Amino acid sequence: MFGITYETWSAVCLMYFGMKTGTKKAYLQWFPFSKVSKVDQCCILGKDFFSKYIESGAFVMFSAAMHRTENFMQKSDGSFRDSSLVSSILYLVLQSIGKEISQKYTLQRPDDIKVYYAGNYECLRPLYKQDYDAFFKSINSDIEQYQYFIKTDITNFFSTINLDKLIHQIDMVCNSDSAQISQNHLRLYKELLAYCGDGRFPLIENSIASSYMASVIYLDMIDCRIHKYISESVTAFTD
């Protein structure tokens, strides 16, 4: 129903089931994974469970699986940002959809632009620390080469993401040469994202899918335009 393959489902489930218990207990969204028994893990990973509930989309018929409520995440300055807390099954489905998209989406950015997000689908890393460290290492490696750095931020970025534009970007790139993601699946992705975010793009604690779609996909063409503008129109920059 959502275009998730069993290989993707099992890989995503193993990624979260394999985290240390202390890590699972440290975050509200991940805490339920610390309570899943080995028997239940095997059940969720099984092909029968996948075929019956995930591939068919039957999980949406269970209110517990579709549970979503408000959550609040504390920022570094002590303030709070509104976010969503979703059931573990819904969370795993969302991460699986993100991985399916990541396997089909081709970056449009020039090669000299580096992009990082919270987690890593390619290496199946649910935590962002290693990629955050790589981000800082890339900056430190350029310190001696460049005199100035410009740091910018987008206020309330996730809540301002336009779902129609996001889905259009996925469609434009993934289906440019051949239809890799059907229009029906794209429509379902949009509806599921809106559901998880209570009508908006969802901000979910430790969600690789949300971070990937927001950083890698939604900003892809914007990064291309900024790169082109700096390269062609800003004469003060020589490199």
pLDDT in tens, 158-167: 989 999 999 9
DSSP-assigned letters across all residues of 48-61: HHIIIIIIS-GGGG
Place of tokens 């700096």: 230
Determine the Cα–Cα distance for residues 30 and 104; give it in Å rounded to an integer.
27
* Percent helix / strand / coil, the chain, rounded to 5: 55, 5, 40
- The answer to whether residue 111 is domain-embedded is yes
- The answer to the question of residue 143 being in a domain is yes
pLDDT < 70 regions, the chain: 239
**Nearest alpha carbon to residue 112 among 75, 150, 138, 132:** 138
What is the pTM (predicted TM-score) of this model? 0.92
In a domain, 42, yes or no: yes
pLDDT at 82: 83
Residue 179 forms part of a structural domain: yes
Amino acid (1-letter code) at residue 181: I
Strands (E), the chain: 68-74, 80-86
The two three-digit tokens of residue 9, written as one number? 């489902």
Instruction: Count the neighbouring beta carbons within 10 Å of the beta carbon of residue 8.
Output: 20
Residue 190, domain member (yes or no) = yes
Residue 18 structural domain: 6-233
Buried b or exposed e, range 74-93, using 16+ CB within 10 angstroms: eeeeeeeeebbbbbbbbbbb
Residue 35 confidence (pLDDT) = 95
> Total domain count for the chain?
1
Is 89 contained in some domain?
yes
Look at residue 238 and tell me if it is in a domain.
no
Residue 239 located in a structural domain: no
